[in-house]
Amino acid sequence: MIKEWLDFFATEAAGVLAFIFLFEGTRLLRTYGTNRIAVLMVAYGAIFSFASAGFLYWKHVTSKEITQTLPRMEAVDPLPADWKKDLEPQKREEASLALARMVFFDSGKFNDYFDKHGQRQRFSPSEEDIKHREWLVVTQARLEDAVRDNLNHALGWLIWALMAVALGFMFARHGATPKRVGPAQDIDSRK
């Protein structure tokens, strides 16, 4: 828990510094022209911002691929009367019940299964089946949220970086020259 908070604060602090460096570096470049400190500030801010956006976009693509490859079972048609008739009654019941349970887990629908006597019965989930179904639904929703959040955060990094550059450019005084203040001038200015 503490490690997660430290990671969060370290990432946020580095992000804030990246945006400040982008803003101030762009402002210095426009105001005073090319100098080493301004170029380094812009470079650090740009590298950190674009690396973070790239990593989050990679997580988005990877998460999306994972959610698309998860096996999904749609509700199957009712089993035909001669379905696996060659199996012994106990195994036929187990197989059809397992199929009905899988359909319930994946789609939430109640299919029929064959009991020991070969009669159709409506699947009735146990409390454990319902908990498992809820867990699957919550997990799927969280995965879909993570996919969307990673894309939103990647775009956010890019937007913030561009805004920092634009604001640095807007707040700069183009062509301004820095005033050099010596010790004697500083004393005179106090009087």
**Tens-binned pLDDT, residue by residue, of the chain (191 aa):** 788 888 888 888 888 999 999 999 999 999 888 889 999 999 999 999 999 999 999 999 998 988 888 766 665 677 777 778 778 888 888 888 888 888 888 888 888 888 888 888 888 888 999 999 999 889 888 888 989 999 999 999 999 999 999 999 998 876 555 555 555 555 555 55
| CA pair distance 113, 44, nearest whole angstrom | 63
CA–CA separation, 12 and 19 (whole Å) = 11
Q: Where are the alpha helices (DSSP H) in the chain?
A: 2-32, 36-69, 89-107, 127-171, 183-190
Residue 153 CA to chain centroid, in angstroms? 7
In the chain, the N- to C-terminal Cα span, in Å, equals 57
Burial 66-83 (b: 16+ CB within 10 A, else e): eeeeeeeeeeeeebeeee
Contacts of 172 (CB under 8 A, 6+ apart): 26, 27, 28, 29, 30, 31
pTM of the model: 0.67
